[in-house]
Homo-oligomer: A and B are copies of this chain.
Amino acid sequence: MTSSNRKKQPDFTLAGCGYSRVLDIISNKWTGLVIYALENGQIRYGEISRKVDGISKKMLTETLRKLERDGIVKRHITPVVPPIVDYSLTALGETLLEPMKELRQWGRTNYSEVEEARANYDRTLPERG
């Protein structure tokens, strides 16, 4: 029971909603960031680790494994000592990158507005009730 334990299916697979499927793939804390780290092509484990600042080895490995299992990421090992391991997006992964880029762009464009909304909401909170 090490890495072979099969993650239980999350139960938010609402009928017919592709979004839940996508969430199942990209919603955890680091996955999106890791995918972005791969957007410019093949990159080494250590490089990703540096690019996705703050991620632990545990989470990086887990995230990469999951994405590999999902067919989003390819893993290539050069069997030297010490080993060289490169990761890159698969063709499927590339297609996923597109809508994710738009989401990122939305964040860049609209985050200040969200922040304003939050500040405003917090200011006027007492009026609710």
Contacts and interface: CB of A to CB of B under 8 A. Distances in A.
Interface of A: 3-4, 6, 10-12, 14-15, 17-23, 25, 27-30, 32-33, 36, 52-54, 68-72, 92, 95-96, 98-100, 102-111, 113-114, 116-118, 120-122, 125, 128
Nearest to A6: B122
Q: Is the interface of A mostly helix, strand, loop or mixed?
A: helix
Given A103-B99, A114-B71, A118-B70, A33 B14 contact: yes
Instruction: State the number of copies, please.
Output: 2
Q: Which 7 A-B pairs have the closest CB atoms?
A: A71-B117, A18-B107, A18-B108, A21-B107, A99-B102, A19-B104, A22-B107
Given A14-B52, A33-B14, A99-B102, A69 B121 contact: yes
